[in-house]
C-alpha cells in the first residue's frame, strides 16, 4: 500500500544524497512530499526536488493558508524522514521550534519520525548535540546513522550521513509489521552460470531482482535472512547474510547446508537446467569447431526437488516457476504439476519474456498452493515481494 511520506531536507552538503532517498521512496511506489528548508535550497534547487518527487514542493510557511497547509501536511503523513538532519535541525526539533514549514509540519505530525544526522565529527560529539539526540530518542524519535567515513573537505570520522538505501529501508522497517520476527528465512536469487570453457557459459536472463526484493522485505518484517545469490545485477540488500555462488551445483551445496537451520525457504533463483558434460580446460576456438556445433549437455541438479525431499516438519518451502506460455490456464496447470512433483508447499508462478519478468520492471505473479484457489499480485518487485511474504502465514 502506498504511503504518504514527507522528506524534510535541512541545509547541509549531504542534501545531495537526499535526492536519492526521495527517488528510492518514489521507485517503491510511495507518494513523497519534499519540504526543504531555505538553507537546503542553496545546496539543491527546487526544480530537482519537484522532478524527483513528481510532486509540487512547498517551501513557504504562508503558502496554502486556506488549506492550513502548515499543519495539514504533518497530519496526513504516514512517515517523516529528515535527511540530512543538521545540528541546527536537531536543536530546533528538540526545542519544538516552528519557524518554518518543516518545523510546523513536524509539530503537527503523529507519524514515525526518522532522522539521518550529518555533520562534522566535532559537532556530532558536542555535548549540546548529544543532549538533543538523547532528548529526541526519549520521545520516540528514530535515528539512522551517522556513519563513519569521509566528510566535507579533508575530514573523516563519525558524522557522515547514512547511504540513501539504508535510510529508506530503516524508515520503512519502522512501519512494517514484524510478522516474521524470530523466523530464519533462506532465499536464493539470480541466475546460475554453467561454464563451457574458461570464457563461455550457459545461463539465463535473470537479474536476481525478485530474490533481492524478497530478502529486503523479509528483513523489514523482522526475519533473519540468508541470501544465496548467483550473478545478480542489482545491489545486494543490507542487513542480511549473503553467500555468493556460481553454478547450480554450488547453489545446491549452499542451500542444502543452510536448510536445516531455516524456517522458510524461498527458491527464487533461476537455475540453469543444463551444463556441459565435459568442461574444456581451454577456450574453444571458433576456428576449431564445425559450422554447426552441438555441445554434449547433461542436466543440472534439481535444487527445489532435493530441498523438497529433505524438508523437515514445519519447514515452509516455496518454489518459483517462470513460464512463457501465452495461455494463462496452461501456465497454471504446468505450475501445479511442478508444485506436486517438487514437494513444495507453494509455488510462485510468473510470466517471463523479452519485455516482462526480467530485471527492474513491473511484474505479476500468482501464488499457488494445494488449494484450487490462487492469489495474484501485481506491481513493482518490491511491493510484490512484500505481499507474497504477508501471505505466507496463511500457509
- Buried b / exposed e over 344-364, threshold 16 CB at 10 Å, is bbbbbbbbbeeeebbeeeebe
Which of 256, 217, 214 is closest to 232 using CA atoms?
Answer: 214
Cell numbers that stand for 54 in this block: 513528481
CB 128 within 8 A of CB 119: no
Give the separation between CA 82 and CA 80, rounded to whole angstroms.
Answer: 7
Residues assigned a catalytic role? 204
Question: What's the first-to-final CA gap in the chain, in angstroms?
Answer: 22
Question: Within 10 Å of residue 317's Cβ, how many Cβ atoms?
Answer: 22
Sign of the C-alpha dihedral computed for residues 182, 256, 387 and 234 taken in this order: positive
Sign of the C-alpha dihedral computed for residues 306, 309, 312 and 316 taken in this order: positive
Quickly tell me which residue has 551445496 as its cell: 253
Give the separation between CA 43 and CA 324, rounded to whole angstroms.
Answer: 48
Strands (E), the chain: 4-9, 31-36, 79-85, 113-117, 142-143, 147-150, 156-160, 184-190, 194-195, 201-202, 224-230, 241-244, 264-267, 274-276, 297-299, 316-323, 346-351, 363-368, 374-379
- Residues whose CB is less than 8 angstroms from the CB of residue 222 and which lie 6 or more positions away in sequence, other chains included: 178, 179, 180, 181, 182, 183
Amino acid at each position: 500500500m502506498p504511503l504518504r511520506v514527507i522528506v524534510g531536507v535541512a541545509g547541509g552538503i549531504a542534501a545531495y544524497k537526499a535526492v536519492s532517498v526521495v527517488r528510492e521512496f518514489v521507485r517503491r511506489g510511495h507518494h513523497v512530499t519534499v519540504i526543504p528548508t531555505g538553507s537546503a535550497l542553496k545546496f539543491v534547487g527546487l526544480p530537482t526536488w519537484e522532478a524527483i518527487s513528481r510532486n509540487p514542493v512547498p517551501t513557504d510557511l504562508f503558502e496554502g493558508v486556506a488549506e492550513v497547509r502548515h499543519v495539514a501536511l504533518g497530519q496526513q503523513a504516514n512517515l517523516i524522514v529528515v535527511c540530512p538532519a543538521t545540528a541546527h535541525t536537531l536543536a530546533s526539533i528538540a526545542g519544538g521550534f516552528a519557524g518554518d514549514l518543516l518545523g510546523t509540519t513536524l509539530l503537527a505530525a503523529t507519524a514515525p519520525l526518522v532522522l539521518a544526522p550529518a555533520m562534522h565529527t566535532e559537532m556530532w560529539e558536542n555535548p549540546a548535540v548529544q543532549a538533543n539526540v538523547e532528548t529526541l530518542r526519549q520521545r520516540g524519535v528514530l535515528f539512522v546513522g551517522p556513519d563513519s567515513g569521509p566528510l566535507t573537505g579533508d575530514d573523516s570520522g563519525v558524522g557522515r550521513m547514512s547511504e540513501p538505501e539504508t535510510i529508506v529501508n530503516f524508515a520503512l522497517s519502522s512501519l512494517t509489521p514484524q510478522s516474521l520476527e524470530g523466523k530464519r528465512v533462506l532465499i536464493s536469487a539470480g541466475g546460475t552460470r554453467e561454464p563451457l570453457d574458461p570464457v563461455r557459459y550457459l545461463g539465463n536472463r535473470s537479474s536476481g531482482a525478485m530474490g533481492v526484493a524478497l530478502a529486503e522485505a523479509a528483513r523489514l518484517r523482522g526475519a533473519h535472512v540468508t541470501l544465496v545469490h548467483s550473478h545478480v545485477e542489482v545491489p545486494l540488500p543490507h542487513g542480511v547474510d549473503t553467500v555468493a555462488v556460481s553454478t547450480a551445483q554450488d547453489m545446491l551445496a549452499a542451500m542444502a547446508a543452510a536448510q536445516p537451520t531455516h524456517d522458510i525457504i524461498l527458491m527464487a533463483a533461476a537455475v540453469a537446467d543444463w551444463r556441459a558434460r565435459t568442461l574444456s580446460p581451454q577456450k574453444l576456438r571458433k576456428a576449431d569447431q564445425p559450422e554447426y556445433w552441438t555441445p554434449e549437455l547433461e542436466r543440472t541438479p534439481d535444487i527445489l526437488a532435493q530441498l523438497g525431499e529433505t524438508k523437515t516438519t514445519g519447514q515452509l518451502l516455496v518454489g518459483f516457476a517462470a513460464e512463457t506460455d501465452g495461455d494463462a490456464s496452461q501456465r497454471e496447470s504446468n505450475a501445479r504439476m511442478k508444485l506436486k512433483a517438487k514437494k513444495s508447499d507453494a509455488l510462485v508462478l510468473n510470466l517471463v519474456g523479452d519485455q516482462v519478468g526480467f530485471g527492474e520492471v513491473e511484474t505479476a505473479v500468482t501464488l499457488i498452493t494445494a488449494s484450487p484457489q490462487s492469489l495474484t499480485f501485481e506491481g513493482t518487485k518490491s511491493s510484490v515481494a512484500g505481499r507474497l511474504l504477508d501471505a505466507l502465514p496463511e500457509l
